[in-house]
Amino acid sequence: AQSVTQLGSHVSVSEGALVLLRCNYSSSVPPYLFWYVQYPNQGLQLLLKYTSAATLVKGINGFEAEFKKSETSFHLTKPSAHMSDAAEYFCAVSGTSYDKVIFGPGTSLSVIP
Amino acid sequence: GAGVSQSPRYKVTKRGQDVALRCDPISGHVSLYWYRQALGQGPEFLTYFNYEAQQDKSGLPNDRFSAERPEGSISTLTIQRTEQRDSAMYRCASSSRDRSSGANVLTFGAGSRLTVL
């Protein structure tokens, strides 16, 4: 079975500061890992995905995430926060390509001018 | 269609009534998922289909909830004898397989917001 935990339900950063959103996963098989973003009153959209091709994954809007098997982590980072990054971020895991996708509880990111 | 379409977008019903929520996935997508999302929470898995076969319904809260996808395209999530605790956003997603990796990439619809009075 797969599961996801996200440490910190709410993170605040200053504009221009580093963004770090934490995700740890549990999976009985090599996982696929995802980050989705949800802007206010909108649906979820894919930010990036890990598929075992490379441990450092680059996504849209300058975000990237690094898969660390030894730490069972897939933390999301961005070097410099923009006001437009304020949103809810969800980490998700899937065991195989035809398996269900399980989401974490989410982290709400606020960016302070 | 171009995206995942859900209807109705908003549904207000009285406790005890049955409701049906519809999802029209992206054409050609094999898999279809239903999630429930409470305010400020992550999407909670309910059930999913590959083609017309229901693969996993372990997330359905109780036997008042059911889903079908009879022709492997449009799906309906039905909630019988609704209760106030069923109030939430119900999201549908369809999935394509990433061609290079096989990863299950979900495309979400806008959701159906259910309010049970």
Q: What is the DSSP letter of A85?
A: G
Tell me the pLDDT tens digit for each residue of B78-110.
Answer: 999 999 999 999 999 999 777 777 778 899 999
Q: How many CB pairs under 8 A join A and B?
A: 73
In angstroms, rounded to a whole number, what is the distance separating the alpha carbons of residues A76 and A82? 15
Amino acid (one-letter) located at A23: C
Interchain proximity A105–B100, CB inside 8 Å: no
Tell me the pLDDT tens digit for each residue of A29-49.
Answer: 888 999 999 998 888 999 999
CA distance, residue B93 to nearest chain A CA (Å) = 10
Tell me the pLDDT tens digit for each residue of B30-67.
Answer: 999 999 999 889 999 999 999 999 999 999 999 999 99
DSSP string, B13-52: E-TT--EEEEEE--TT--EEEEEEE-TTSPPEEEEEEETT
Strand pairing report for B112-116 and B88-97 = antiparallel
| pLDDT exceeds 90 at position B1 | no
Residue A78's DSSP bridge partners are: A19
Interchain proximity B98–A108, CB inside 8 Å: no
